[in-house]
Chains A and B, each alone.
Chain A
Amino acid sequence: MTKKTAKSIFWVGTLMSAGIFIWLTVDFHRQEPAYANTDRITDQVVAGKKVWHKYNCNDCHTILGFGGYYAPDMTKAYYRLGPNNIIAIVMEPEKVYKGSFRKMPRLGVTRREAEDLVEFLRWVADIENRGWPPQDEKYVRAARLREKEPHKLQKLDIVLGACGGCHSFENQGRDIAGDFGDIAKETRYNRDTLVRYILDPASVNPDSGMPPQNVSRETAELIADFVLGLR
């Protein structure tokens, strides 16, 4: 090969690749509204994104798989945790993660900021990204079924979909607030108390670190039956 041939390879290769890339970029923007629901980016979503940047969340958490690997991915966190839990975690991480082997810093997030952040994460969770991350698809499925076709839900799906962000069962879910097997053995609550506890923990036990859960009374009853059934 001569130097001249090599030079042509350089220019042809570079320009061709750049051409393809620019064309794909134009098409990306054309199709972005359908994949990322850009029409749903409200001012509150933007405010939430600014909160996300302000506290540098992305250097511990990944989102869309990018960022720090020190803490769980936040792409589908809205479905994994639900609004109340997200707010409780970002506002009082030292309580939620008291017993955890890994801590989250107290960032001084205000209530307003936490609510904005939830809106942002809600918008992110609906980005059509081919079901990534794989481990969170069960939460997305459960959350969507809960809204539309609750009769199709498996019991375990409901329980883990609602509680798996903090509780575990047979190694599934995230064990920071105890395993359901242990909770079932230890709890002295009856069914009614447990249902009340799920809906508003502080009304039963003022010292509880668990936030009120965003579930309907029926779902709470179902969860209570599940837990008590493990005894």
Chain B
Amino acid sequence: MTIRYESQKVALPYIQLSLLLFVLQIAMGLWLAVNYAFTLPQWLVDAFSFATARAIHTNLLVAWLLLGFMGGAYFILPVECERELFSTKLAYLQLGLFALAAVTAVVGFLFGWTQGKPLLEIPVPLDLVIVVAALIFIANVLLTVIGAKRRSVIQWMLVGGVVFLALLYLLGIPFYRSLNADYYYWWWVIHLWVEGAWELITASIVAFVVLQVTGVERQVVEKWLYLETGLFLFTGIVGTGHHYYWIGSPDYWLWWGGIFSALEPIPIALMVVDTWLHVRNRRNTMVNRLTWIYIIGLAIYHFLGAGVWGFIHTLPPVNYYTHGSQITVSHGHMAFFGAYALLNLTVFYYALPQFKGIRRYQEKLGQWGFWTMAVSMFFLCLVFGVAGILQTYLERFLDIGYSTAQMTMMFWFKAALFFGAIFLAGAVMTVYHLFTLRPAPKATA
């Protein structure tokens, strides 16, 4: 199988850069775990603080995911619209701007150039570069879709998600005098991204991939797409309220936030069901087992990390004790891995063989990579979860001070470092495999 449209090729550098940043993100994560697990000398802490490393870890996460979404969108759009992209030049320009902003941001963090807001540390001048890149992306996607040879739900869902994503980013840029309002709108970026705009984009990309790989009827896939994204937005938008319990807000947020976010696992559960149905009712033969494993793994980990792990501590009486503890770390890792990291990797496993004209690829190393990542991530989240339960119990039930509690959790921080190292090994295997895909020998086909 080869690519069908010449302009799909712009996706390749997006995907390659995305994969490199993924590995760097994990490496930085390990460094954070070292900070937790050992006492570092003062000079090292002065030169390269935990705060700087965390800013790099989280920004690389956002950067590689967004690059993957953009590359993925550029890859599927020509096929979905039955035409070339509006402009490949714009796509390369956008990639250049985005990469420039990302690299400058990371170097800037090392020298203390920061907006000082978690996850949104990128300073305003660089924000503007990103806004320009985003506008180019929107224009390119929109103009491609407008001139499409056929209309589809997937196209418009993608456009909607991309516009929504860009608009929300703007709310993170201004300086707010009140910390309370600051965090109110901070969540419009963070929460409405991951439980809104990103879900729209990824759900449409997944719908496309599932459609292509399984060969089930388009009508069925698009029906599910409407239903799931509808429920994502219905529960997710008001569900933002689960972040407002303790920021200084009226009591009704406990109810609105609690009830709507308790419903948030429903669309994810539906996603597991429909993936399962599509795979069972497939019309195509299973060519590359690993791509299918990724599609199913994505659905299951999405449900586990975002759905179950999120639900566990979303109700106000529980959240009062678990908010702002290692429990959140556990949920964050599993949710991002399940919902978005696996999504990107699924798309990459779908797209990359096509660039090389490979129909069936050798998948042994990729299998090792997937299972190493999946298992170590599960244990990593378990370990963070245990640390979080300990922290909650020691600090908030027994009234033991922060540092005494942290010292008691030390074993679990070391365990997190251990599983993190295994995860890094899995990520390196996966990325190496993706970069060096080779056709499977005919005999085993």
Binding site for B on A (CB under 8 A): 1-3, 6-7, 9-14, 16-18, 20-21, 24-25, 27-29, 31-32, 35-36, 38, 41, 46, 49-50, 52-60, 62-73, 94, 100-106, 120, 124, 127-130, 132-135, 138, 164, 168, 171-176
CB of B396 within 8 A of CB of A134, answer yes
How close is A178's CB to chain B, nearest CB, in angstroms?
Answer: 12
Which of A12, A133, A175 is the one whose CB lies under 8 Å from B403? A175
State in angstroms the CA–CA spacing of A129 and B54 once bound together.
27
State in angstroms the CA–CA spacing of A59 and B117 once bound together.
8
CB of A171 within 8 A of CB of B400, answer yes
State in angstroms the CA–CA spacing of A11 and B160 once bound together.
13
Question: What is the interface of chain B mostly: helix, strand, loop, or mixed?
Answer: helix
What chain B residues lie within 8 Å of A67 (beta carbons)? Answer: 118
Whether B5 is near chain A, meaning CB under 8 Å from some CB there, is no
CB of A1 within 8 A of CB of B39, answer no
Whether B311 is near chain A, meaning CB under 8 Å from some CB there, is no
CB of A105 within 8 A of CB of B177, answer no
What chain B residues lie within 8 Å of A38 (beta carbons)? Answer: 178, 180
What chain A residues lie within 8 Å of B399 (beta carbons)? Answer: 135, 138, 171-172
What chain B residues lie within 8 Å of A102 (beta carbons)? Answer: 39, 403, 406
Show 30 residue pairs from A and B whose CB-CB distance is below 8 angstroms, ordered by the A residue: A1-B227, A10-B229, A13-B233, A13-B234, A17-B234, A17-B237, A25-B184, A27-B250, A35-B250, A53-B117, A54-B114, A55-B112, A57-B51, A62-B324, A65-B324, A66-B324, A68-B51, A68-B54, A69-B329, A70-B35, A72-B403, A101-B403, A105-B49, A127-B180, A129-B247, A130-B245, A132-B245, A133-B323, A134-B321, A175-B401
What chain B residues lie within 8 Å of A49 (beta carbons)? Answer: 177, 179
What chain A residues lie within 8 Å of B233 (beta carbons)? Answer: 10, 13-14, 17-18
What chain B residues lie within 8 Å of A64 (beta carbons)? Answer: 179-180, 183, 246-248
State in angstroms the CA–CA spacing of A149 and B4 once bound together.
78
CB of B114 within 8 A of CB of A56, answer yes
State in angstroms the CA–CA spacing of A25 and B185 once bound together.
10
CB of A56 within 8 A of CB of B112, answer yes
What chain A residues lie within 8 Å of B260 (beta carbons)? Answer: 17
What chain A residues lie within 8 Å of B45 (beta carbons)? Answer: 103-105
Whether B253 is near chain A, meaning CB under 8 Å from some CB there, is yes
Which of A28, A29, A130, A172 is the one whose CB lies under 8 Å from B246? A130
What number of residue pairs across chains A and B have CB atoms under 8 A from each other?
223
Q: For the complex, count residues of B whose C-beta is within 8 A of A.
A: 78
Q: Looking across the interface, which residue of chain B has its beta carbon closest to that of A43? A: B177
Known A64-B183, A172-B399; further 5 A-B contacts with Cβ < 8 A:
A20-B237, A56-B114, A70-B54, A124-B179, A133-B324
Interface residues of B in 305-328 (CB under 8 A from A): 320-321, 323-326, 328
What chain B residues lie within 8 Å of A21 (beta carbons)? Answer: 237-238, 240
State in angstroms the CA–CA spacing of A18 and B224 once bound together.
21
State in angstroms the CA–CA spacing of A17 and B256 once bound together.
11
CB of B250 within 8 A of CB of A31, answer yes
How close is A98's CB to chain B, nearest CB, in angstroms?
Answer: 8
CB of A59 within 8 A of CB of B246, answer no
B5-40 near A? 1/0 per residue, CB < 8 Å: 000000000000000000000000000000110011
CB of B326 within 8 A of CB of A69, answer yes
How close is A5's CB to chain B, nearest CB, in angstroms?
Answer: 8
How close is A154's CB to chain B, nearest CB, in angstroms?
Answer: 14
CB of B179 within 8 A of CB of A63, answer yes
Residue of A52, A94, A105 with most partner-chain B CB within 10 A: A105
Which of B235, B398, B404 is the one whose CB lies under 8 Å from A174? B404
